[in-house]
Copies of this chain bind each other. A is one copy, B any other.
């Protein structure tokens, strides 16, 4: 299942509207098939793994990070039926499908076909891996990650705004990997105008994984909600043709608008301080990625603006450290919002 989860991560950031499922088929101790949700959501992980394994599926154990779907679609038959026909001896599932069209029916069909089914294996890890899709299903909005790159004393820049560089190469490479894992990256208008950020994935072999760019602005004259094209950027924001080249931005005018973002399981917020504060104040941040360099800055720009906190007690109990590691001389900490 650990291997199925790892493979499922490959689809993260490009499986919408579907979840990033992973599937591994093992027969007599050998892996005979592996699959993950393909870009755009099809083929499903199970279909890909079954096709690879062919006749070897019979008598095997199939591991899937999510309950196989039980609904036919114009784009292909239900995975539960495909699996039932291929006759593995056993199917091991991490999470049951919360989608009303399946919810338990995939497992029923497998059992009806005489296949042994085990559920709940590595369910927590699977929930984390498919957090974006689950968030959309359960809360109608993407799973939101806020990224901050700070000094030990929480600064993101010197007083004059210079922030090159706070963190080192390894931390920046990791942050680019996180970009590749999300469907959309959002910045506030301040950062957008000052930094003219590209937000692309600059990692060898992953350049094509760059995500949609989303701009938060309540009142930029001339930029209407929806897609903004290079001509508008040249005209309205006075970006040079060079700066505007190839840039397409989706504009949203308030933090709540992320609920309605189509095809977005995972959303990454890359600043600035006011935008971070807006999402935090609305309690719309599910995960913090904190990259911390071993430096002190003192006076400088803060990572987060006013979040309207008036009572320290109210700040407690929200964040849990779930991962920490060194990236060169920087330290990454990952915090998850405690479920309320």
* Contact A298 B294, beta carbon cutoff 8 Å: no
Segment 271-290 of A: residues with Cβ below 8 Å from B? 277, 280-281, 288, 290
User: Is A307 within 8 A of B315, CB to CB?
Assistant: no
B295-A319 in contact (CB<8A)? yes
Known: A148-B153, A151-B315, A312-B163. A306 touches B298 (CB 8 A): yes
Residues of B within 8 A of A164 (CB): 312
- For A, the interface residue count at a CB cutoff of 8 angstroms equals 46
What CA separation (Å) do A302 and B152 show in the bound complex? 12
A154-B155, A294-B320, A321-B294 are contacts. A306–B312 as well, Cβ < 8 Å?
no
Chain B residue at minimal CB-CB distance from A146: B296
Which residues of B have CB within 8 Å of A307?
296-299
Q: How far is the CA of A305 from the CA of B296 in the complex (A)?
A: 10
Query: Can you show 15 pairs from A to B with CB atoms below 8 A apart?
Result: A152-B290, A153-B302, A164-B312, A165-B312, A277-B298, A294-B318, A295-B315, A295-B316, A296-B307, A296-B318, A296-B319, A297-B315, A298-B308, A299-B302, A299-B306
Query: Does A227 have its Cβ within 8 Å of any Cβ on chain B?
Result: no
- A319: B residues at CB distance < 8 A: 152, 294-296
Flag if B150 contacts A153 (CB, 8 Å): yes
Copy count, this protein chain: 2
Interface residues of A in 303-340 (CB under 8 A from B): 303-310, 312, 315-316, 318-321, 329, 331, 333, 335
Q: Does A137 contact B (CB under 8 A)?
A: no
- With contacts A298-B307, A307-B298, A335-B294 known, is A312 near B158, CB below 8 A? yes
Complex CA gap A331/B335 in Å reads 13
A321 touches B310 (CB 8 A): no
| Complex contacts, A306 vs chain B, CB 8 Å | 298-299
Q: Which residues of chain A have a CB within 8 Å of any CB of chain B?
A: 148, 150-155, 158, 162-166, 277, 280-281, 288, 290, 293-300, 302-310, 312, 315-316, 318-321, 329, 331, 333, 335
Taking CB atoms, residues of chain B closer than 8 Å to A166 are: 312
> A303 contacts B154, CB within 8 Å?
yes
Given A152-B154, A152-B333, A300-B309, 20 more A-B residue pairs with CB atoms under 8 Å apart are: A150-B154, A151-B154, A152-B335, A153-B154, A153-B302, A154-B154, A277-B299, A280-B296, A281-B298, A294-B318, A295-B312, A295-B316, A296-B318, A297-B304, A297-B307, A297-B312, A298-B302, A298-B304, A298-B307, A299-B307
Contact of B335 with A315 in the complex, beta carbons under 8 Å = no
User: Which residues from chain B contact A277 at a C-beta distance below 8 Å?
Assistant: 298-299
Closest to A335 in B: B294
Contacts of A329 in B (CB 8 A): 320
